[in-house]
Structure formats: C-alpha cells, structure tokens
Amino acid sequence: MLYVLICLCLALAGVAGLQFFYMIYLERIERERKKRISLLERRNKVLQARLEDAEAEIEDKRTRLQAIYNDNILECDEIWVDVIEDR
C-alpha cells in the first residue's frame, strides 16, 4: 500500500509540474502575442497616415485635373465655334 501511495504522490507531483511548465509556456505565448499586437497597431497607424496622405494627394490631383479639363473644354468649345464660323 505504501508503494502505491508513493507512486500516486510522484504521479501527482509530475502532473503538477507539467501544469506549472504549461502555464509558464502559455504566459510566454501571451506576452509574444501582446508584443505582436502592439507592433501591428503601430504599423497600422503608420499605414493609416500614409493612406490618408495618399488620398489627400489623389484628391488634390483630381481637382487639378478637373480644373484643367474644364479649361480645355472651354478652349475646345471656342475652337469649334471658330471652325463653325469659318464655314
């Protein structure tokens, strides 16, 4: 009976040790995930700023092109008016 109790105690101590090391492993994984999340959040902020800058630049170019296009339409209309009057 004594040997059975000794084996049972050693088995329980082994299970407790296994659980202890598994908890340490889970905590390390959690810390690595938190670091990864913070890194991704920083990258997200940088990319969000770059995206906003790119959108602003595109909008600026769009307004410039629209202004140039409207001027060209007016010039084109004037040219056609001259062509029609010449006939």
User: What number is the average pLDDT over the span 20-43?
Assistant: 98
Res 66: pLDDT: 79
What's the one-letter identity of residue 62?
R
HSE at residue 35, side-chain half, CA atoms within 13 A, is 6
Res 52: pLDDT: 97
The reply to whether the predicted model has a pTM over 0.85 is no
Res 82: pLDDT: 54
- First-to-final CA distance of the chain: 122
Res 51: pLDDT: 97
